[in-house]
């Protein structure tokens, strides 16, 4: 007696198809041959959290597998990342609460965590790029990216402090200044301040389209502003409902001297990445933010996702959308996996 499979085969007429897309998927080598998007370690920037002290490597509860490092332990981690081909690290400090004040004064201290780390990294791992965040939230007692007067984040007064902060970081050895504050006019002011101090070769990677997102919670845990932030940041970060506005913001930052631009968050805003790339053909980066990372890791911990596949698929999506590179907490892990092939 014929099996059900044989009966089905006998009753099914062969389809008269000229095009059979599955032919290009029939084997691993064939899939590799026609692959449109390539991800490499060169595409990865590693955001790294700093804290005071020595010999410290402190886990962040809301970001499994991510740590705050004292400068000495950070150097060990950065050396490993560099050996895997990661081209740059982005530094974010968890500033001692005793050093935070309403004016963000510690941002201008040449011996703050970020500046000391810049100097140490350039000595110990000179081949890796150092990206520094320009914003006041790690240094203010109120947790905002700018100066707070009454209930208002004042723009022009903040920009003057940000320009001084950028020069402070450049003196410490920062290769790329990355303003994440979203104040109006800060790129032009920072470019002018850097050039006036002889730092014409220091690049600016602008957080040009940074949205007032719900996906930043674990990051605020990491830098210690989760409990200090007064109110929200919607008067300066962008409305998640807006798309055309992102193009206006990017255009202004490029006109004012940004060398590269960024979209943040990443995955929920791939449409913005694509629009920016198509409109400006400028180096455009995306930030796979803490909330995105933590969602994947939570699903992995529950056995709902294959961690390695989810990691690599998410990073490939940024490249497919047109991003020149990705800031991701997965950078060392992804680079190690890419090395293994």
**Catalytic pick among 7, 26, 227, 264:** 264
Binding residues for Mg(2+): 249
SS (H, E, C) the chain: CCCHHHHHHHHCCCCCCCCCHHHHHCCHHHHHHCCCCCCCHHHEEEEEEECCCCCCEEECCCCCCCEEECHHHHHHHHHHHHHCCCCEEEEEECCCHHHCECCCHHHHCCCCHHHHHHHHHHHHCCCCEEEEEECCCCCECCCCCCEEECCEEEHHHHHHHHHHHHHHHHHHCCCEEEECCCCCCHHHHHHHHHHHCCCCCCEEEEEEEEECCHHHHHHHHHHCCCCCCCCCCCCCCECCCCCHHHHHHHHHHHHCCCCEEEEECCHHHHHHHHHHHHHHCCCEEEEECHHHHHHHHHHHHCCCCCHHHHHHHHHHHHHHCCCCEEEECCHHHHHHHHHHC
Say what the pTM is: 0.94
Domain regions of the chain by residue span: 38-340
**Catalytic pick among 7, 26, 122, 210:** 210
Query: Annotated catalytic, 264?
Result: yes
What homologous superfamily is domain 38-340 in, according to CATH?
Aldolase class I (3.20.20.70)
Binding residues: 249
Query: Annotated catalytic, 233?
Result: no
pLDDT tens string, the chain, 341 residues long: the values are 567 666 655 556 889 999 999 999 999 999 999 999 999 999 999 999 999 999 999 999 999 999 999 999 999 999 999 999 999 999 999 999 999 999 999 999 999 999 999 999 999 999 999 999 999 999 999 999 999 999 999 999 999 999 999 999 999 999 999 999 999 999 999 999 999 999 999 999 999 999 999 999 999 999 999 888 988 999 999 999 999 999 999 999 999 999 999 999 999 999 999 999 999 999 999 999 999 999 999 999 999 999 999 999 999 999 999 999 999 999 999 999 999 98
């Amino acid at each position: 007696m014929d099996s059900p499979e044989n009966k089905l085969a006998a009753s099914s007429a062969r389809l008269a198809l000229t095009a059979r897309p599955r032919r290009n998927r029939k084997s691993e080598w064939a899939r590799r041959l026609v692959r449109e998007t390539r991800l490499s370690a060169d595409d990865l920037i590693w955001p790294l959290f700093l804290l005071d002290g020595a010999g410290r490597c402190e886990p962040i509860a809301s970001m499994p597998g991510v740590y705050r490092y004292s400068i000495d332990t950070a150097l060990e981690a950065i050396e490993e990342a560099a050996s895997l081909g990661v081209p740059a690290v982005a530094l974010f400090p968890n500033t001692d609460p005793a050093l935070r004040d309403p004016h963000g004064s510690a941002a201008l201290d040449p011996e703050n965590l970020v500046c000391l780390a810049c100097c140490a990294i350039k000595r110990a791992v000179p081949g890796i790029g150092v990206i520094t965040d320009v914003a006041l939230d790690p240094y203010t007692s109120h947790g905002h990216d700018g100066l707070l007067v009454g209930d208002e984040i004042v723009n022009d007064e903040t920009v003057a402090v940000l320009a001084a902060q950028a020069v402070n970081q450049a003196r410490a050895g920062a290769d790329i200044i990355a303003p994440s504050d979203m104040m109006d006019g800060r790129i032009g002011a920072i470019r002018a301040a850097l050039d006036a101090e002889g730092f014409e070769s220091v690049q600016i990677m602008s957080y040009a389209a940074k949205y007032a997102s719900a996906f930043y919670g674990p990051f605020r845990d990491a830098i210690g502003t989760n409990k200090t932030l007064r109110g929200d940041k919607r008067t300066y970060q962008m409305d998640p409902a807006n798309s055309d506005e992102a193009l206006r913001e990017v255009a202004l930052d490029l006109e004012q001297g940004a060398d590269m631009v960024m979209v943040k968050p990443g995955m929920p805003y791939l449409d913005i990445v694509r629009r920016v790339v198509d409109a400006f053909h400028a180096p455009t980066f995306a930030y796979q933010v803490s909330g995105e990372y933590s969602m994947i890791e939570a699903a992995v911990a529950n056995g709902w996702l294959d961690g390695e596949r989810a990691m690599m698929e998410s990073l490939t999506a940024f490249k497919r959308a047109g991003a020149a590179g990705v800031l991701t907490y997965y950078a060392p892990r992804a680079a190690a996996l890419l090395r293994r092939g």
